[in-house]
Amino acid sequence: MTSSPYPAIAERGYAHPEFLVSTDWVAEHKDDANVRILESNEDPLLYPSGHIPGAFEVDWTRDLNDPIRRDYLDRSAFQALVERLGITPNTRVIFYGDKNNWWATYSLWVFRLFGHTNAAIMDGGRIKWVNEGRPMTKEIPSSAPSSYPVVERDDQTERVMRDEVLNHVRANGQLVDVRSPQEFTGERMHMPDYPNEGALRGGHIPGAKSVPWARAIDPETGEFLPADRLKAIYQEEQGLSPDREVIAYCRIGERSSHTWFVLKHLLGFPQVRNYDGSWTEWGNSVGVPIERP
List residues with catalytic annotation. 250
Q: Is 45 exposed, middle or buried (0-12, 13-18, 19+ CB in 10 A)?
A: exposed
In a 13 Å sphere around the CA of 197, the CA atoms on its Cβ side amount to 17
Rounded to whole angstroms, the Cα distance separating 106 from 213 reads: 13
Rounded to whole angstroms, the Cα distance separating 293 from 259 reads: 24
Angle, CA 152 vertex, CA 255 and CA 41 arms, to 5°: 30
CB atoms within 10 A of CB 191: 16
Rounded to whole angstroms, the Cα distance separating 171 from 154 reads: 24
Q: What are phi and psi of 6, to 5 degrees?
A: -110, 110
Q: Which residues pair with 72 in a beta bridge?
A: 65
3-class DSSP state of 247: strand
Rounded to whole angstroms, the Cα distance separating 47 from 50 reads: 5
Q: Is 287 exposed, middle or buried (0-12, 13-18, 19+ CB in 10 A)?
A: exposed
